[in-house]
Structure formats: C-alpha cells, structure tokens
Amino acid sequence: MARKKSEQLTDGEQAIMNILWDKGECSVKEIADTLSEDKPTAYTTVQTMCKIIAEKGYAKHRKEGRAFVYSPLITQKDARQGALTSLLNRFFGNSPELLAQHLMQETDIDLDDLASLQKQIDANKEDKE
C-alpha cells in the first residue's frame, strides 16, 4: 500500500519556500543557484521539488519562455500556523498547554524569554476582555 502524501513541507521544500518568501518569485534555475551556494543541488531535483510544492498548494508557477517561475501562494505566517496546528494535533492532543510544558522541560528557554512570553499572554488576555 502506498504511503499517504504529506501536506507538510519537507526540509528541502522548506528551503525552497524560504527563498520564495524572501525573493517573491524565482525561476527554477535561480532557486537551484541559491541552494547551490550552500550545497550542490541539481536543477532537476529543484524542478521536481517545485512541482511538489505547487501540488501541495504552497506555490504557483507561470511559464516565462522555456523557464518556470514560481511564487508563493501562502505567507510564511500561514505556513507556520499550518505546521503548528499539525504538530499540536499529531503530538500534543491539540493542547497548546502540553506543547508549552514540553518546550519548557526540553529546551534551554531562559527566564527572560519566559518573562517576555508571560507579558504577551497578559496583553492578549487584556485584549480579549
């Protein structure tokens, strides 16, 4: 039985989306050249990954001559929200509290960061009242 395709971005797809969010739109060649600055990346690999990103609904493309030019369909903020929602559902029973507890226990979050978060929580409470 075939594995269900994930709607979330893989690491490679995320790298491409970061380029698109940064530049607005790019040809496959421009994306491959940018990725190759860190690690050699084949044009055909980038072409395939861009097609997958478009199928997942994260980007769209248009043809310019012989080149395909991709641009993001969703904002980085919306992508983060979708990934966070998926993470909450899959691993934390849709509980932001469990996620926050996990982050406090398993990361090196310092007291200044916690104090800043508490200020944001308090401000959000006041806005909702």
Q: pLDDT confidence of 3, banded at 50, 70, 90?
A: low
Helix axes 43-55, 11-23, angle to 10 degrees: 80
Instruction: For residues 50 and 69, give the distance between their C-alpha atoms in angstroms, rounded to a whole number.
Output: 10
Residue 53 confidence (pLDDT): 96
Q: pLDDT confidence of 52, banded at 50, 70, 90?
A: very high
Q: What is the pTM of this model?
A: 0.79
Q: What are 96-122's pLDDT values in tens digits?
A: 889 888 888 888 888 888 888 888 888
Q: Tell me the CATH architecture of domain 1-91.
A: Orthogonal Bundle (1.10)
Please state the domain extents for the chain: 1-91, 94-129
Whether the Cβ atoms of residue 68 and residue 27 lie closer than 8 Å to each other: yes
Q: pLDDT confidence of 57, banded at 50, 70, 90?
A: very high
Q: Has residue 1 got a pLDDT over 70?
A: no
